[in-house]
Structure 1
Amino acid sequence: MQSQNSWTEQRSDAGRSHLSFKNQLFFKLLARLTGNRGSDPGRAVARARKFLGYYRPYVPLLLADLACAVLVAASAIALPLCASYITTRLPVLAEADDALAQILGMGGIMLAVFIVQSLATYFVDYRGHVMGARIEADLRKELFEHCQKLSFGFYDRQRVGQLMSRISNDSLWLGELFHHGPEDLAISLLKLGGAMTVLTIIDPVLAGLIALLVPPAVLYARHFNRRMNVALKTTKERIAAINERVEDALGGVRVVQSFANEAVELERFEVENRNFLRSRSDGYRSEALLWVGMDGFAQLVTIMVIVGGAIRILHADLSVADMLTFLLCVGVLVDPVRRLDNFIRLWQEGATGFVRAMELLEKEPDIADAPGAVDIGPISGAISFRDVSFGYGDGGAPVFSGLSLDIAAGEFVALVGASGVGKSTLCALIPRFYDVGGGAITIDGKDIRDVTLASLRRSIGVVQQDIYLFSGTVAENLRYGRPGASDEELVAAAKAANAHDFIIALPDGYDTDIGQRGVKLSGGQKQRLTIARAFLKNPAVLIFDEATSALDNESERAVQQALLELAAGRTTVVIAHRLSTVRHADRILVLTPEGLGEEGTHETLMAADGLYAGLHRVSARI
């Protein structure tokens, strides 16, 4: 028998050999129920084990929930039996001196059973929901944490709205499944088994007639179950497309309004909205047909008992008291049918969401720590490219092929060149946002693939061209560079970045809310905040994907001065879109589609009258 730890692991190849034959069958059945019927049975079983593994931290709560479910089912069966006791003994009780006391005593027992049933139902509904919500939160956290680890290449291919839907909507339905699944299944099976046992004891003929209706009902449920599965999967894809459309339109609302394209965006949204409505309608149709069929099954059972029981009474094969008990048990039998209906609906909602969540969790990061990776430790910042080749893998030409260059520790290097030659790509390779296709990049002689990503990126500060500030205050955004920074360190970093003066002029100073992505600030102010954030991080290597081309002259001068302050004493690589910003660079590298075209100081390259001089003349005319 497998250990408690092994059955929760995701990988199937190591754990499956320790599973008993019965457990193998159980996991395979669960895998089929979740819809994982692909060509890889190992992955299907692993997903099933992963599903059950989410219950592990809550086993005591799960057992208590199931115990209360047993009480709910047992009390439901006990009440008809108590009623049967009274009705069958009425002729005897009528002649007894203590008849009233016996009836009241049985009433007290029935009241006690009712109280137990109510308390157990309360626990199941309340604590069971809490358990489902906790598992849902655990899964949502796991999805978010995994998304944080996925590489830039993944996000180049994915859409944020789709990922948001998997993290929010899909996990919501899973929480309902994790809660209602075990208890509804347990209550349904226990009530069904208990009621059928009592019915068989009272009248095997009528019980047999009821049992004959079960196979058609199961086949009917399976048919519409499959139809619901398809419809629900489509619905989840459609709502993800809606999220994507909303996120895109509202995130770019200023562009939309500046082009007066509100009608265009509304039409694009309506297309996705109609697709969602169509898929939802298909799902509701299948769900309605399923519920109608299951309700019809319950009604047919009731009609059959009434008609068949009346005939049996006429032939003296059944007493009126037994008939009453039979009808009460049929009432109990209807509840598990309804619970099974609900379970099927939740299973389809949750199972499709679980498969979509697993598809995301099974995405391995393109870039991860190598086995045996070590902390890079304190560095001086000497960077070397050795025969580096790289391409984005989209079928296009490689960005670099055999690129070699050295950047000394503490050197201020500027990268210039036409758009598309790979300046930003070269900088993205240093912190391993992407991995080289060939060759190697080293820092202080250490291959960056042999050190941990966390230590590598802690040593590198990146001020990106696409400025990103988070919703919140100025102080919160600055502390993103170093969460534990004091107020004094915050102010010192802002002063070094020429940002302190405009910050204290804001309504609430450092506590001013800057809006989503810093919308309440100007371009120059946002850029200086990102530089101050890099100051707080205090990295040994600084990469500055300069974005001063869109700034006014005053803001540009402030940003350039802040950059020079930040670059002092550390290795700095600047991507220069405006060549006036690179005059003070120790060395200028001119990139071309063929690789490194020229290198040298501003004066040397201007005197050579080559590629750089040509770019400078073009820049001067703009």
Structure 2
Amino acid sequence: MTVGHSSWREVANAEESESMGDPVRVDGRRIWRLFTPYRWRLASVLGLIAFTSVVGILTPFIVKAIVDDALPNKDLELLFVFVGALIAIAAVEAVVSVLQTLIVSRVGQAVMHDLRIGVYVHLQRMSLRFFTGTRTGEVQSRISQDIGGMQSFVTNTAVDLTRSAAVVCVSVVAMLVLDWRLALFSFLALPFSIWVNGRVGALRERVTTRQQERLADMQSLVQESLSVSGIVLSKTMGRSQRMVERFTGTSREVAGLEVRSHTAGQWEYSVVTLLISAMPALTYLLGGFLMGNTPSITIGTLVAMIALQETLTWPLEEILRSTVEFRTARAHFARIFDYQDREVDIVERADPVVRAPADIRGDVRFHQVSFRYAGAPEPTLRRIDLDIRAGTKVAVVGGTGSGKTTLGYLVARLYDVDSGAVTIDGIDVRDLSFTALAGMLGVVTQEPYLLHASVAANLRFGKEDATDAELVEAAKIAQIHELISSQPDGYDTVVGERGFRFSGGEKQRIALARTILRNPPILLLDEATSALDTRTERAITEALDKVMADRTVITIAHRLSTVRDADQIIVLNRGEIVERGTHEELVARNGHYAELVTGNAPTPASCGD
């Protein structure tokens, strides 16, 4: 089915086997375990449910006594007692209902909070590999749409199901006590109702699974096309109408699935409703036949039985609805558990090495390092041996796809090596705690990410307790202070979505200032000044030379003017080190580096940069 060209009716009327895939099965016990930390609060709810069920079931018997005793005998005193009892029961049920609602709401929201936090924390632990292979809109959809879809079940349905089950049990016992023949007759519609409910529940689970997939597609489309970058792309490419058509098609399919979800089984349910609605009238008819031959069946018995049937009807409907809600919610749980079950491929050791940034010299070494991206036909890096002495400036250059950026990723442990080791001061980065490693490195990338917040907040993301004076000093080093100060709100200026209030070069300088503020012993610059003009770049380089003296600086660059003064230049080609030396040495060698300088080097065919 082509997105944008499928009709609503095609979606709404498609055969189940063709339009809906089988949902991932979720063990119900895993869902119930979410409630385990709140078992005592839930136990109190169950106690309240049991109490109200027992108290509520007295109502039909009081009605029977009113019809058979108080009214025929015109006993007003007895009638007042019975009426008072009915009012008291209603008052008790009202008070208990409020208590139940308070407890259930708090437990439900606590479970939702735990689930959201659990998913978010797990995703924070995932490596860069997961996020490069997953759409941002998909992640957002699962955290918002899927967890939101569980809200009703977690907050209300589970407890409603328990309360209804208690009422059903007590009502069935009371009906059998009143008269077992009328009771069994009242249960005739149950088997058909259960069959219909199971069929509808399975269908809605499949529909919900598909629906959430399409909602994720729609959210991803919105995230991509209505971002600043997406709008610029669609307008400059003249593809705005095409984006509208894509969104319309996806929205139409979501609407069809929504209709399918709400209308599934309605004909079967209407038959069940008809049977349940007809049951009181049929009970009167059967009771009329039995009354002549069965003295125990009185008018009061019939009235009480009908009252019990009505008492039984809503909890039965609630149970049937709740089981369908559970099947629907299970589709949401499946998508959330799918994320929670994703293996974290980069984990911290149980007893990690902890080092303070001040204790780090800054020696970085690659020993026989090889790395391949998942699904890539060839390794991105092959048998890399590289020593970077503390306090030196090392540049890594090479054509597009040569593995330069990947080298930086391995130092920051955004990926783990396939073989070999990357060490800092002789310590394997895989043995360091995440906090210690982050404290050692300051990373500035070609496309820096800025929060939709003020300039000051973006800078303090690198150092929360930074003073205003420290912000200004870092901004001056990054050659961005004058621009920030010229803004009407100064350092309180909001940078906008992804920093679009500033140019590419200005964003790079803000990101550089943020890293300088942290004062790390090792600075990794990945095309960090690529968007700057030559004059600004030279000024920043001179300022960095002062502030980063005696610190290790690793520069990854395409523009070779930024690396001429490096103590050592590493030249990569097809994932291997082909040359190393100073600028003068490499130019004199007239090899690959010299070709890069003259612009004649071939572009390697490789996966990853």
Q: TM-score scaled by structure 1?
A: 0.88
Give the superposed CA RMSD: 2.2
Q: What's 2:563 paired with?
A: 582
Q: What's 2:105 paired with?
A: 129
Cα offset, 1:422, TM superposition: 0.3
Secondary structure of the residue that 2:353 maps to in structure 1?
A: coil
Q: Is residue 584 of structure 2 the alignment partner of residue 608 of structure 1?
A: no
Question: 1:546, 1:575 within 8 Å by CA — same for their partners in 2?
Answer: yes
**CA–CA separation in structure 2 for the residues paired with 1:503 and 1:219:** 68
Distance 1:174 1:566, change over 3 A: farther
2:213 partner letter: E
**CA–CA separation in structure 1 for the residues paired with 2:111 and 2:265:** 26
For residues 318-333 of structure 1, what are the structure 2 equivalents within 5 Å? 318-333=297-312
Q: What's 1:421 paired with?
A: 402
- Given candidates 194, 203, 207, the residue that maps to 2:179 is 203
Secondary structure of the residue that 1:55 maps to in structure 2?
A: helix
2:161 partner letter: L
Secondary structure of the residue that 1:591 maps to in structure 2?
A: strand
Secondary structure of the residue that 1:381 maps to in structure 2?
A: coil
Q: What's 1:268 paired with?
A: 246
Question: 1:129, 1:176 within 8 Å by CA — same for their partners in 2?
Answer: no
Q: What's 1:80 paired with?
A: 60
Q: What's 2:31 paired with?
A: 51
Which one is further off, 511-520 or 208-217?
Answer: 208-217
Q: What's 1:470 paired with?
A: 451
Q: What's 1:25 paired with?
A: none
- Given candidates 343, 349, 368, the residue that maps to 1:370 is 349
Cα offset, 1:59, TM superposition: 2.7
Question: 1:531, 1:563 within 8 Å by CA — same for their partners in 2?
Answer: no
**CA–CA separation in structure 2 for the residues paired with 1:523 and 1:595:** 31
- Given candidates 544, 548, 551, the residue that maps to 1:570 is 551
Deviation readout 1:8-57 (Å, 9 max, x if unpaired) = xxxxxxxxxxxxxxxxxxxxxxxxxx9875xxxxxx6xx54442332233
Secondary structure of the residue that 1:449 maps to in structure 2?
A: coil
Cα offset, 1:114, TM superposition: 0.5
Secondary structure of the residue that 1:58 maps to in structure 2?
A: helix
Q: Is residue 266 of structure 2 the alignment partner of residue 285 of structure 1?
A: no
Distance 1:563 1:308, change over 3 A: farther
Q: What's 2:50 paired with?
A: 70
Secondary structure of the residue that 1:548 maps to in structure 2?
A: coil
**CA–CA separation in structure 1 for the residues paired with 2:535 and 2:242:** 38
Q: What's 2:4 paired with?
A: none
Deviation readout 1:279-309 (Å, 9 max, x if unpaired) = 2232223253464354234224333323222
Calculate percent identity across the aligned residue pairs. 31
Runs of 4+ that moved beyond 4 A: 34-37, 314-317
Q: What's 1:180 paired with?
A: 156
Q: Is residue 440 of structure 2 the alignment partner of residue 459 of structure 1?
A: yes
1:136 partner letter: M
- Given candidates 195, 198, 203, the residue that maps to 1:219 is 195
Q: What's 2:214 paired with?
A: 238
Q: Is residue 474 of structure 2 the alignment partner of residue 493 of structure 1?
A: yes
Cα offset, 1:419, TM superposition: 0.4
Cα offset, 1:342, TM superposition: 2.7
Question: 1:369, 1:449 within 8 Å by CA — same for their partners in 2?
Answer: yes
Cα offset, 1:105, TM superposition: 2.1
Secondary structure of the residue that 1:212 maps to in structure 2?
A: coil
Q: What's 1:158 paired with?
A: 134
Structure 2, gaps ≥5 residues long: 1-21, 602-609
Cα offset, 1:140, TM superposition: 0.7
Question: 1:287, 1:345 within 8 Å by CA — same for their partners in 2?
Answer: no
Q: Is residue 168 of structure 2 the alignment partner of residue 192 of structure 1?
A: yes
For residues 264-413 of structure 1, what are the structure 2 equivalents within 5 Å? 264-286=242-264, 288-289=266-267, 291-313=269-291, 315=293, 317=295, 318-377=297-356, 378-413=359-394
Distance 1:287 1:381, change over 3 A: farther
Secondary structure of the residue that 1:284 maps to in structure 2?
A: helix
**CA–CA separation in structure 2 for the residues paired with 1:291 and 1:247:** 39
**CA–CA separation in structure 1 for the residues paired with 2:597 and 2:23:** 62
**CA–CA separation in structure 2 for the residues paired with 1:566 and 1:617:** 32
Which one is further off, 265-274 or 352-361?
Answer: 265-274
Deviation readout 1:109-162 (Å, 9 max, x if unpaired) = 211110111122223334322321221111011111111110011112211111
Cα offset, 1:271, TM superposition: 2.5
Which one is further off, 480-489 or 412-421?
Answer: 480-489
Which one is further off, 538-547 or 289-298?
Answer: 289-298
**CA–CA separation in structure 2 for the residues paired with 1:133 and 1:619:** 62
Distance 1:619 1:512, change over 3 A: farther
Question: 1:459, 1:541 within 8 Å by CA — same for their partners in 2?
Answer: yes
- Given candidates 69, 74, 95, the residue that maps to 1:89 is 69
The number of residues matched between the two structures is 575
Cα offset, 1:442, TM superposition: 1.1
**CA–CA separation in structure 2 for the residues paired with 1:185 and 1:498:** 64
